[in-house]
Each structure stands twice: as C-alpha cells, then as structure tokens.
Amino acid sequence: MTAQGRDVNGSDDPPGRTAQDPFSRYARRFGRPIETVPQMLRGTDAVPAAVASALGLPAAAVEGPSSFFADFAAPRGTRHVRVCGAAACFAASAGRHLGEVAAALGAVPGTVSVNDGGASVQEVRCLGYCYSGPAALEGDRPCAGGDLADQLLGRAPRQDPVAEVQCRSRVPVVTAGIVGGEQPWQAWPRIAASGTSRDVLAEIGASRLRGRGGAGFSTVRKWQAALAYPGPRVVVANGDEGDPGSYVDRLLMERDPHRLLEGLAIACFTVGAAEGIVFVRSEYPHAAAEVRRAVAEAEAAGQLGADVYGSGIDLRIRVAEGAGSYVSGEETALLNGLEGLRGVVRPRPPYPAERGLFGRPTVVNNVETLAAVPWILQHGGEAYAGLGARGETGTVVVCLSERFGRPGAYEVEPGLPIRRVVEEFGGGLRDGATLRALQVGGPLGGFLGPEELDLPLSEAALAEHGAALGHAGMVAFDQRLTGEQVLGNLWAFAEAESCGQCSPCRVGTRLGRMLASGPGAPGPAERRSRVLDTMAEASLCAFGRRVPAAVRSLARVYGLAGWS
Ligand SMILES: Cc1cc2nc3c(=O)[nH]c(=O)nc-3n(C[C@H](O)[C@H](O)[C@H](O)COP(=O)(O)O)c2cc1C
Ligand code: SF4
Ligand code: FES
C-alpha cells in the first residue's frame, strides 16, 4: 500500500521467505516461483517430476505437496466424483451413500473404475451442502440428496439445493446483504478517502469483535500485533471452512462476496497491507468463482486497485484455492500451502503477525469475521457490542444440518439457549426422528445430549461442558445411528485429516481409529485413555489437542465405556 502521509504502511523491502525452510531458500536463491507448484499440479496431466523440471526445483519440492494434498494425490479418471463422507452427510444417510455411489460408478473411493477406466470416486470431508446431504461434486458440478447415486447415474434429476438463510438476531450483521438488503461498500469510500488506521482500530476495539474461525481471538489485538512489525504486510481471508456442518463462509462468499471484500479492504487499510488474499477451499468452486468475479467488479468500480478514491492507496486482492486438506484451514498450514509447500502446521512462535506469508507480518481472519467489519464501521463498534451476551458480543451464524426440520443458516446473538436454536428455529428433527446427540463446532468442538440443550450458546458455557462453539456448525444425529458408528466416523475423519506433522496426533489418530473400530476393538480402557491424554497434552496444534475432547464428550453422551 502506498501511504501518503497516512498511518498505513511499513517498509518497501521485497517480501522475504521463512528463513528455516530449505525449499523457500532454494527458490529465492534461484528465483524459482515455488508458490506456483499447486497451480501447476492442478493441471489434469501434471506429473510431479515434469512440474519440478519445468520450474527448476528439486523433485522433492513438488513431490511434497503432490502427495500431501488430497486433490493431487487421489487417482482421477475422466469422470471424477468427490463424495462427502463427513458428519452431516453420514448422519443423513446413516453412512450408506458412499457404498451406493461407489457401486453405481463401479469404483471404490480412492480408485479409478476397472470397468471402463473412466470413473473415479474420491471420499472428501464436507462440501458445504450439510443442510441437504449427502452431497457430491462431479467435477465442479454439485448434487445433493438422498438419491445421490441415482442423480449421478442420470436416473433422477440433479439437485443443487439452496440453503435457507434467516436472521434471528435483533439486526442482521453478516447477513445484512443477504436478508437485510444492505448494500456493501458503504463504509470503505469514507475510510479510504479520509479515515485513519487509529479510527478503525478504535471501532473494532469498541465492538469487541472476536474471530469466528474457531479460536475466538480478539480481532483488534490481532490487527495491532501485525502493526507492531515492519511491513510489507498482508491480510488473508480464511475461506477454508473445513468443519463438517458449517457452510456460512460458503454462503457469504457465494451470495455476498462484496461484503467480504469490503471487510478485507478495511483490514488491509488498517494494518497497512497492499495485498489481500481470499483463500477458498477447492471443495467450493462456485464460491471461488463468485469472489473472483466480485474482485473484478470492485476493481472496475474503483474500490480496489491503484490510488483508491484518490487516497494514494494501492490495494490488490487475489483469490487462491486450496487443494483438499482440513488442517490447511489452520492459519500456519494455510500459509505453507500458499507458499507452495505441504500444508502442515508450523510451530509457533513466531506467530503469523510477526512472520507469516513469505516471512511478512500477516493477519489471517475468517470470512465471517471479516464480513462483520463493514457493518461495524457503518453502524459503530458500540452498536455491535450492544448485541449478544456479556463477554461475547455481536452475532454468530449457526448452521443446522440436514436432519433438522428446517435446516439452514441462522444469524443469532450469543447467549440464547441452544434449545431455541434446535427446536424453534430448526423445528426439531425431520420425519418425527428423535435427537440422540448434537455435535456443535465440528470435529474440534463437542457433543451434547438432548437433555443438555438449555445451555446458552456461548463459548464459555460450551467449554464448561467439554465442547466448543468453533465455527458454530450443528450436526444432529438421530436414533438410527449408534454411538459406535458416530465415534467411528469421528476417528476416521481425524485419521484422514491429521496433517502428520507431529507424532502424538499422527499416531494417536490412527490408534484411536483402530481402538474404536479396528481389530481388537474396543481395546483396553487404559490404552484408550492414554491415547487421548497424549494427544491432548503433546500435539502441536489444536487439531490433535481438541479431538480427544470431542471423543470424550461423544462417549459421555452415548454412554460409551472406556473413552474417559
Ligand atoms: C485444524 C484447524 C483447522 C482450522 N480451520 C479453519 C478454517 O477452515 N477456517 C477458519 O477461518 N479458521 C480455521 N482455523 C482457525 C485458524 O487457525 C485461525 O485461528 C482463524 O482463521 C483466524 O481467524 P479469526 O481470528 O477471524 O477467527 C482452524 C484451526 C485449526 C487448528
Ligand atoms: S496436531 Fe495433528 S494436525 Fe496439528 S500439527 Fe500435529 S499432526 Fe498436524
Ligand atoms: S456436505 Fe457433507 S458434511 Fe458438509
């Protein structure tokens, strides 16, 4: 960002790369664009050795990401179908759809069909259609519903259901555009033309906005932390949204992408970043296309680009796509992926605010967090702080899964009883089914039993119950599934998605899955507790540290012995 007497910039040094990473050092020394590796691997005929040779990189620099990311590692036929096997789709079909799709296409997940060599099935974990699962993507074409296999075979019409979005807070904030008709780009022109970083920080501070990506970190503190280190800086909007059961980021990116871009522009301005990046998971191809379209429109309208509103500010926003990895939503793993490396978690410190993307001070914020920023700047931080509960201000969008009578995304204020969300907004369960367990906050959240729904919807209350609000997805499980089945699905997710960077999680998730469902199950209780304790205490990131809490809460709700 070019600053003209404004408190928005750092130095003009070229971007550095993380000093400890050998491939980055190599790439910098020889001027090789290692960050283009994922783009090149995306080509259907891309062979890692050929990509390495074309870029002049060591073979290992390309083998790393190509074997790590599911999209590159999965075998592909000419007809490639990604089928969701995660919690909400599993709950929708009691797990049957994976077998049905595989049988219909003649290919078991992870293979190309032998019949005609053409079809391949890849099991993925969440496609953002949790409200109408089970779901699949054929190429980039979605379909969802109980007759998924018939849809894929052309025996039933393809369904691409649209999610219901409702505002149940006093005023719509992040859904202001979708349900409130409020136009985006209302706050930005004034801020760009005559605002200061200090003014914006004062409003965000007054709002007490906390990150919606799961960790609940204070947004103003994160932005201030990045400002403490010399630039150039960068802001990344995290649209990885891996939690099965959550789809609000997808809805925001698809239906109101300009609000996200405005929030991102304001964040860039405030921390003095000339570059913003929207990172979109590859399971959301439509969202990536909509955000790209919105960036072009915003550039054409003069909201982004050179000398915005005659302010001397140059601001560019680009879109980057993931390649199939849950842990790549963790901010340091995300940065590795953007640098063209394997999407594994980096040890912290240093935190991204100090040394993030290519060594630059970096702010990573969730899409829903950034989508709240324009409203706060337009209506005032105090107005936002007046919503919600003490200590947990504003609004949160809760996503309800397919098993509910009225699945959809509901913007609510923290503090209301969870029972209201489940029974009044969600309409209880569909088809007269009985709620057996409610998963809140995805695989790093926790489970509640039907008698625990009077708890307030808040981080603090859920934490006391060994759960977490996370990204506020809610997956309902009915009486058709046993606790063992739900536990098996959770461990399968954990084993498949562990990034493998640290052994307590890499080995622990495998042992956990085996002890839950493999040979020798259920296994001695003492061994199961030891696996959970080791993961919780010694894992490098919140994935390995939080999965044990989710397992323990599930075992409590279903009365499964030996997982305490
Ligand atoms: C395993 C793991 C996966 C995560 N996935 C996401 C994700 O998909 N989207 C997201 O915004 N944050 C995710 N996070 C949290 C990010 O690391 C980070 O805290 C967040 O993007 C910061 O934005 P916020 O402060 O606005 O919440 C994940 C964290 C972990 C440990
Ligand atoms: S806890 Fe799991 S996901 Fe996190 S760094 Fe370790 S292996 Fe990777
Ligand atoms: S689409 Fe299957 S869990 Fe989200």
| Contact yes or no for 280/386 (Cβ under 8 A) | no
pLDDT grade for 8, boundaries at 50, 70 and 90: very low
* pLDDT greater at residue 523 or residue 512: 512
Mutate to test the pocket of ligand 1, among 174, 238, 249, 328 (most ligand atoms within 8 A of CB): 238
Is the pLDDT confidence value at 522 over 90? no
Query: How many Å lie between the centroid of ligand 1 and the Cα of residue 480?
Result: 32
- 247-264, pLDDT tens digit by residue? 999 999 999 999 999 999
- 71-94, pLDDT tens digit by residue? 999 888 889 999 999 999 999 999
Alpha carbon nearest to ligand 1 atom 12, residue: 213
Is the pLDDT confidence value at 453 over 60? yes
- Mean pLDDT over 139-148 rounds to 96
Its pTM stands at: 0.94
C-alpha distances in angstroms, 437 versus 97, 461, 513, 553, 559?
Answer: 21, 17, 20, 10, 11
Q: Which amino acid would we find at residue 494?
A: A
Residues flanking ligand 2, CB < 6 Å: 327, 345, 498-502, 505-506, 539-541, 543-544
Query: How many Å lie between the centroid of ligand 2 and the Cα of residue 278?
Result: 24
Q: Which atom in ligand 2 lies closest to the alpha carbon of residue 506?
A: 7
Q: Which atom in ligand 1 lies closest to the alpha carbon of residue 326?
A: 3
Q: What is the per-residue pLDDT for 31?
A: 62
Is the pLDDT confidence value at 19 over 60? no
Q: What is the per-residue pLDDT for 112?
A: 75
Is the pLDDT confidence value at 54 over 90? no
- CA nearest neighbour of 215 among 248, 245, 238, 198: 238
Q: What is the per-residue pLDDT for 200?
A: 98
Is the pLDDT confidence value at 11 over 70? no
Chain mean pLDDT for the chain: 91
* Residue 550 exposed, middle or buried by CB count within 10 Å (0-12, 13-18, 19+): buried
Is the pLDDT confidence value at 116 over 90? no
Is the pLDDT confidence value at 564 over 90? no
DSSP string spanning 296-364? HHHHHTTSSBSSGGGSS--BEEEEEE--S-SGGGSHHHHHHHHTTS--PPPPSSSPTTTS-GGGS-EEE
Here the tokens at position 357 are 């993307």
Rounded Cα distance between 162 and 483, Å, is 31
Is the pLDDT confidence value at 351 over 50? yes
Q: Is 98 in the pocket of ligand 3 (CB under 6 A)?
A: no
Q: Is 135 in the pocket of ligand 3 (CB under 6 A)?
A: yes
- CA nearest neighbour of 360 among 457, 230, 486, 248: 230
Alpha carbon nearest to ligand 1 atom 18, residue: 331
| Contact yes or no for 33/56 (Cβ under 8 A) | no
Q: What is the per-residue pLDDT for 14?
A: 34
Q: Which atom in ligand 2 lies closest to the alpha carbon of residue 503?
A: 7
3-state secondary structure 415-481: CCEHHHHHHHHCCCEHHHCCEEEEEECHHHCEEECHHHCCCECCHHHHHHCCCCCCCCEEEEEECCC
C-alpha distances in angstroms, 278 versus 113, 227, 322, 331?
Answer: 35, 20, 11, 13
- 194-235, pLDDT tens digit by residue? 999 999 999 999 999 999 999 999 999 999 999 999 989 999
